[in-house]
Structure 1
Amino acid sequence: MSRCLPRASASVAVVLALAGCAASVKAPPASSLQMPSAWRTAVEGQGSGPVAQEWWQGFGDPALTALVNRALQGNGDLRIARARVEQYRSLMGVAAAGQKANVIVDTAPTRTRQLAYNGVPYVTNVYQAEFQANYEVDVWGRLAALTDAATATYQAEQANADAAALSIAATVASGYLNLRGLDAQLALTEATLKLREQSRDLAKKQFDVGYSSRLEWLQAQAEYQTTAEQVPQLKRAIFEQENALSILTGGNPGPIARGVELEALQPPAVPAGLPSELLRRRPDIARAERNLVAINANLQATRDQLLPSFKLTAVGGVQNLKWHDFVNAPTALWRLTGAVAAPVFEGDRVQYQTDSVAAQRDQAIYAYENSVRTAFSETDNSLGAIVRLKEQAVQNDARRATAAETLRIAHNRYNNGYASYLEELDAQRTLFTADVGRLQLKTRILVASVDLYRAMGGGWTRP
């Protein structure tokens, strides 16, 4: 018993001495990330549940839901991202295979013609089959660290694919809502154009009979032409928006099916959530976190390159000079080798490599913190946008009501001969501008809801 203690102590000392051969690693930078306790903007009517996985269904438009689902299946960029996930899944398997034994089978029948000592040629046959098994004992955990790095990189690619899916879903939803806004503006413009046409024809008749001046008729004509000019502009914008949505869904340029009218679309309830929940929900934060884990594992593997490696090699086989004997009673051959290999001098190459990976780790830490701060900013901005746009919509409603009343008074004054037709045209123009602004604000509020769901992670949550 007393003899074993010195031997054990010597073994521990050898292991500790070998462990001291690893390259030194600089300490990581201190975190400068501060977690806010709440958002700056408080939103009325905030929901109480988690962010829905398929949040776009909250708009209640089957056409929007179908469009987003089609994009999640057929979008080209998303298919590329998913293919990269499969690539890194395979690379993870390659890294894990490094911790297992490697077995090779080799058969090498050989026929040789040589000269004997007396100069007489002779022919020999050698029939041989051999297998070789190699296994590296992962004493220091270097191979396990490489597997951990590959696993974390694979998980980062999964999060990257989720981030791409979230971005595509939000882009398609925003594009569709903008398309419905353009549709509503086109319908308003075409309806206004008919009114402008009637006003122009009336002004022309009154000018012909001498009831009004040529100036009033020309002003009505100009107002009609101004409104008519907006129709092809809106149709071109709708055409391009449809083509953009078709490409996003993985198809060719073409028309897009419509669903609920803009006026009937309502934004879903604002999802509840604390800033800390973004760390689990947003896929870009998860990607930055897994990249940091991968670099830390690579740092461990790089640091341990100076430590000795322990490899076991087992070789076995059969051999004979005659085929009959090789098949029926071959001669068995084997050998077992244990090897220890350690670098002696590499000119500080490993230390510089370790310093390089440590710098990459520091970059990953800063990138992670930047991703978290960006998430906080985007969410706060989206919450603030919804509040301010709704306040702006209230003022727009008041402005429109004033414009409508102004037009009513101007129309009555013109009919009673107290004012010129130019006054009514100006009131019509003001009301039309307010109507367009109302549709644009409605669209912007809907799109701001999409931006909020994108900022809050859109329900993509991985353990």
Structure 2
Amino acid sequence: MIAPRTSRAASTVPPAGPQRPRAEGDALRTGTAAVVMAFLLAGCAAKVAAPPQATLAVPAQWRNAVGPGANGAAADGAQQVEQQWWLAFNDSALTALVTAALEHNGDLRVARARVADFHARVAAAHAGQLPSLSVNAAPARARTLAYNGVPYITNLFVAELQASYEVDLWGRLASATEAAAASYRAEQANADAAALSIAATVANAYLNLRGLDAQLELAIATLKLREESRRLAKQQFEVGYTSQLEWLQAQAEYETAAEQIPQLQRQIFETENALSFLTGGNPGPIARGTPLAELVPPPVPAGLPSELLRRRPDIARAEQSVIAANASLQATRDQLLPSFRLTATDGIQSTDFSNFLHSPINLWRFGAGITAPLFEGGRVQAQTDSAAAQRDQAIFAYESTVRNAFAEAENGIGAIYRLREQVVTNDARRETAAETLRIARNRYRNGYASYLEELDAQRTLYNADVARLQLRTRLLTASVDLYRALGGGWQQANPSPGR
């Protein structure tokens, strides 16, 4: 059986002379009784509820697949996470924005400050496992009465060096240190999760900005076409070739196209300000890089769902939270167990300052003490129950985090899969709309149809073009969302020699 840990007490120095053996025997019996009581109290440790049964099941594969695993073949083993996944877009402006955000973003700086805070807490918890050393210097001067009623003045000069150490027999201090270390690792993972989220938010905002730029260019080009159509409709109306209705329709379509420009400019303005805030700067213009038409979604290798458990920082954070809660539970439970503390004091003392400097009297004492709670009114047990409930909360939160990760990854993969199908359909739709406009324009110019047919064809083609730009933007942002859902990018394995 492990010897109990004790804490507070101090043994007295036995008197000199014939009484010493008897005093030593009394001290031995007293110490033995204290040890026996400590062992009895060790059986009074707080009861700990069993952890909940795990209900988390890892899916065998994704519902949809993209990349090399699209035919049902899983990736060959787990790949190392690429932290700078945004480099795969090959856009220097995007890289500069993400780099600035990771360095200057306010939320991320707060997260890193919390990491420093929890790192200091680990050091503070570990200090409890080490001996403590203190020094005390206490000069005193007092005027008191002697036994005969005559007052006299005494001086006392004391300097002591005190040392104490708690023997961690039950591991309570080690559990507290482990809880602090796990909380520190959880905060590190939380900072990584914040960095991943901020990088993805910046990338999405920039890609949306490039999409808005492309829509603005399309709106300006469309306005020029509508202006030419309006001029032609007005000219034909003035010469009596067409009715006023066609002229008014052309005018209304021109105004509709003109209305889109300030709306897109406002969205661009707000997106630029949002990016400036994310990167830790004041509102202002944002430098552009690769045009939307040249941005290509990077390929995403397919992998197994279980790889998320090693990739996503929020899962790592939830896992470390479980470890911290379990260690805190052990430390709380051990409060009912006896503690054992060693103390030692060495010092010098004199009633005269000159003697204190040159020939002081050396005094010392050494003690060992046992401290064990006898009655706490159920306080420790209640704290243990609370710590056990917190452990269960951490376990449930971990399972929810993992399930949410699976859902986000499934949504990201499914979004790319369906958006690619939409792009194919949109390409066919635009080809049909362009051919329809060509025929309608020829019929109108040859006098076989009214201008309304050409106007309707123009609207159809414009809507298809807008949808095409929006789909391209959504496909790019869906790739970013998938990177975020899967915990980052992928580092390509080095090819074997000769391949």
Give CA deviations for 1:327-373 in whole Å, capped at 9, x if unaligned: 11110001111110101111222112111111111111110000001
- The SS at the match of 1:212 is coil
More displaced, 315-324 or 257-266?
315-324
Q: Which residue of 1 aligns with 2:20?
A: none
Q: Which residue of 1 aligns with 2:295?
A: 265
Q: Pick from 254, 257, 260 the counterpart of residue 224 of structure 1.
A: 254
Contact kept, 8 Å, 2:220 with 2:261, in 1: the verdict is yes
Q: Which residue of 2 aligns with 1:442?
A: 472
Give CA deviations for 1:33-59 in whole Å, capped at 9, x if unaligned: 111111110224458754422100100
Contact kept, 8 Å, 1:166 with 1:458, in 2: the verdict is yes
More displaced, 11-20 or 317-326?
11-20
Contact kept, 8 Å, 2:34 with 2:370, in 1: the verdict is no
1:33 aligns with 2:93: no
- The SS at the match of 1:438 is helix
Query: How many Å separate the matches in 2 of 1:187 and 1:296?
Result: 58
Question: What is the total number of aligned residue pairs between the two structures?
Answer: 452
Query: How many Å separate the matches in 1 of 2:297 and 2:395?
Result: 37
Q: Which residue of 2 aligns with 1:347?
A: 377
Cα distance, 1:271 vs structure 2: 3.0
The letter of the residue matching 1:272 is A
Cα distance, 1:116 vs structure 2: 2.7
- The SS at the match of 1:360 is helix
Give CA deviations for 1:307-331 in whole Å, capped at 9, x if unaligned: 1110111111100111111111110
1:310 aligns with 2:336: no
Q: Which residue of 2 aligns with 1:277?
A: 307
Q: Pick from 66, 90, 95 the counterpart of residue 120 of structure 2.
A: 90
Q: Which residue of 2 aligns with 1:7?
A: none
The letter of the residue matching 2:348 is V
Write the mapping of 1:248-397 to structure 2, written as runs, cut at 5 A. 248-397=278-427
Distance 1:51 1:309, change over 3 A: closer
Cα distance, 1:274 vs structure 2: 1.4
1:146 aligns with 2:169: no
Q: Which residue of 2 aligns with 1:161?
A: 191
Q: TM-score, normalised by structure 2?
A: 0.88
Cα distance, 1:255 vs structure 2: 0.6
Q: Which residue of 2 aligns with 1:187?
A: 217
Query: How many Å separate the matches in 1 of 2:349 and 2:333?
Result: 44
More displaced, 68-77 or 37-46?
37-46
Q: Which residue of 2 aligns with 1:453?
A: 483
Q: Which residue of 2 aligns with 1:54?
A: 84
Q: Pick from 436, 440, 443 the counterpart of residue 413 of structure 1.
A: 443
Q: Which residue of 2 aligns with 1:241?
A: 271
Contact kept, 8 Å, 1:70 with 1:249, in 2: the verdict is yes
Distance 1:214 1:15, change over 3 A: same
Give CA deviations for 1:220-267 in whole Å, capped at 9, x if unaligned: 000000000000000000000000000000001111000000000001
More displaced, 351-360 or 91-100?
351-360
Contact kept, 8 Å, 2:115 with 2:188, in 1: the verdict is yes
The letter of the residue matching 1:379 is A
1:78 aligns with 2:101: no
Cα distance, 1:120 vs structure 2: 3.1
Contact kept, 8 Å, 1:51 with 1:271, in 2: the verdict is no
Identity of matched residues, %: 68
- The SS at the match of 1:267 is coil
Give CA deviations for 1:95-141 in whole Å, capped at 9, x if unaligned: 00000111111101111122333433322211110121111110100
- The SS at the match of 1:111 is strand
Distance 1:136 1:265, change over 3 A: same
Query: How many Å separate the matches in 1 of 2:139 and 2:42?
Result: 46
5+ residue gaps, structure 1, are 1-9
Query: How many Å separate the matches in 1 of 2:473 and 2:337?
Result: 63
Query: How many Å separate the matches in 1 of 2:168 and 2:210?
Result: 61
Query: How many Å separate the matches in 1 of 2:435 and 2:415?
Result: 30
The letter of the residue matching 1:104 is S
Q: Which residue of 2 aligns with 1:202?
A: 232
Query: How many Å separate the matches in 2 of 1:112 and 1:232?
Result: 88
Contact kept, 8 Å, 2:104 with 2:280, in 1: the verdict is yes
The letter of the residue matching 1:26 is A
Contact kept, 8 Å, 2:66 with 2:301, in 1: the verdict is no
Contact kept, 8 Å, 1:282 with 1:460, in 2: the verdict is no
Contact kept, 8 Å, 1:410 with 1:427, in 2: the verdict is yes
Write the mapping of 1:7-46 to structure 2, written as runs, cut at 5 A. 17-45=40-68
Query: How many Å separate the matches in 1 of 2:39 and 2:470?
Result: 71
5+ residue gaps, structure 2, are 1-32, 70-74, 492-499
Contact kept, 8 Å, 1:170 with 1:450, in 2: the verdict is yes
Cα distance, 1:200 vs structure 2: 0.4
Give CA deviations for 1:25-80 in whole Å, capped at 9, x if unaligned: 11111100111111110224458754422100100100000100000000000000
Q: Which residue of 1 aligns with 2:28?
A: none
Contact kept, 8 Å, 2:68 with 2:302, in 1: the verdict is no
Q: TM-score, normalised by structure 1?
A: 0.95
Contact kept, 8 Å, 2:67 with 2:299, in 1: the verdict is no
More displaced, 242-251 or 18-27?
18-27
- The SS at the match of 2:82 is coil
RMSD: 1.8
